A and B are shown apart, each in its own frame.
Chain A
Amino acid sequence: MVALVKNSQNLEVWKVLESVKDPEIDTVSIVDLGMVEKVEVEAEQIKVTLLPTFLGCPALEIIRTNTKNAVMGLSGSKNVEVEFIFSPPWTSDRVTENGQKGLKEFGIAAPPRHLEEDGSWHVDCPYCDSTYVTMENIFGPTACRSILYCKSCKTPFEAMKPVSTIM
């Protein structure tokens, strides 16, 4: 799970990171998505370490810039560094409860919390909560999403793909 090591020094930074939204989904922040691995504050230096959801995600550079700008806005910030690392790997269970709510609000089903033994998974429709849904395409408009269809309310919707280290 997420290593949310917060203390009085970096609390302010964590707070401002909640204002850094996913560039395409303005109802969730990078904190909600579990992308923030570490915040280190030293005298004149603030370092934010982030985890990419998918390695080829083209939004990473935008997220880096937005994160940097947000932290620079804090009083007394001098040197801000934003680094992406891939170990530990981002996994979909890092999405917080707040993140799940924000995704649903946007019309995206949160990643399933449980995978069946055969690797299959299920999500409900984010609009009407029906369980009567079908998978249209496991690959979606971005690397981290799939396209589904709700047969109850007849609405296409997206779901965040589950990714786990057992895969």
Chain B
Amino acid sequence: MSNVERMMSAEEKKAIEALIFQLADDDFLFSYRGSEWLGLAPHIEEDVASSSITQDSMGHAAMYYKLLEDLGVGKADDLAHLRPAQERKNSVLTERVNGDGYYMDTPQYDWAYTVVRSYFYTQAKRAKINSLRESSYEPLREIAVKVSMELYYHVMHWKLWFEQLLSSTEEAKSKMASAIELVVEDMGDLFSYGEQKESIERFDLIDSEEKIQNNWLEALRPTFEKLQLDLPTIPEPKLNGRNGQHTDELQTAIDTLSEVYRLDTATNW
């Protein structure tokens, strides 16, 4: 795992850490939102499937945090639970609530929104993972091979839902159209590397923002053509999560997800 002992400059190390924080926080928040669906998915088979995907994704986040731990940034569990919202680097898209209400009370979550977010996010993750297979940083190359095998099933799953709902009733189509609009609005920072863009790209850690976004669009194209939909246009970000800009929805998520860990940070949970 930590078999890369080659010398790297402080600048390169900073770029590596910045990128891994983005990857880790994205998967962490995405799977946290996924876990809120447990027991609430449209049917029992979906409950099994989406919680399995959520578990895999949480495993990916844990591995990225471990990589940061290996780099001496801090303890993996602390990085996941204890960092304040303004230090988080996840895309705004991943922090958004699943809909109205709260799962302990009366959740009125939006399944169409979850399908669109999950499909767009997972396909974007695929584009990044494909690129990371060629990363100049060996531990990221190794991770990419492993994540790729699991991601294969995730993409297949969300694509199926996306196509099915958009080939369904008028009501389903209209809910999906609204969901696409909502999701795209928050995608401005998903392909951004924030303030670290220049160094992340210069050290060949991953392809450029533009290239990843383009590969994402090309991956969506056949599905969109089949459904006779226009490919989405990604707007400039209003908030850039990569630079620590977030909504209040992130703070609420962190308060909830870290509640147990904060009770006793020395315990082996």
Contacts and interface: CB of A to CB of B under 8 A. Distances in A.
B150 interface: yes
Interface string A124-151: 0000000000001111111100010000
A87 B157 contact: no
Interface stretch (B49-57, B85-93, B223-231): B49-57
Interface residues of A, number: 26
Contacts of A139: 48-49, 52-53, 153, 157
Q: Which residue of A87, A91, A140, A142 has the most chain B CB atoms within 10 A of its CB atom?
A: A87
A55 B59 contact: yes
A55 B143 CA distance: 10
Contact of A87 (B45, B62, B142): B142
Given A55-B63, A139-B53, A89 B146 contact: yes
Interface residues of B, number: 27
A56 B57 contact: yes
A55 B153 contact: no
Contacts of A89: 145-146, 149
Q: Which residue of A83, A89, A141 has the most chain B CB atoms within 10 A of its CB atom?
A: A89
A138 B156 CA distance: 10
Nearest to B138: A87
Nearest to A167: B152
A167 B58 contact: no
Contacts of A136: 45
B146 A87 contact: yes
A165 interface: yes
B215 interface: no
Contacts of A119: 152
B213 interface: no
Nearest to B53: A139
Contact of B62 (A56, A140, A142, A167): A56
A86 B63 contact: yes
Interface in A90-143: 91, 119, 136-143
A62 interface: no
B48 A141 contact: yes
A41 B62 CA distance: 29
A85 B59 CA distance: 13
Interface string A16-57: 000000000000000000000000000000000000001111
Interface of A: 54-58, 83, 85-87, 89, 91, 119, 136-143, 147, 161, 163-165, 167
The 9 closest A-B pairs by CB, nearest first: A56-B59, A55-B59, A87-B142, A139-B49, A167-B152, A139-B52, A56-B55, A89-B146, A163-B149
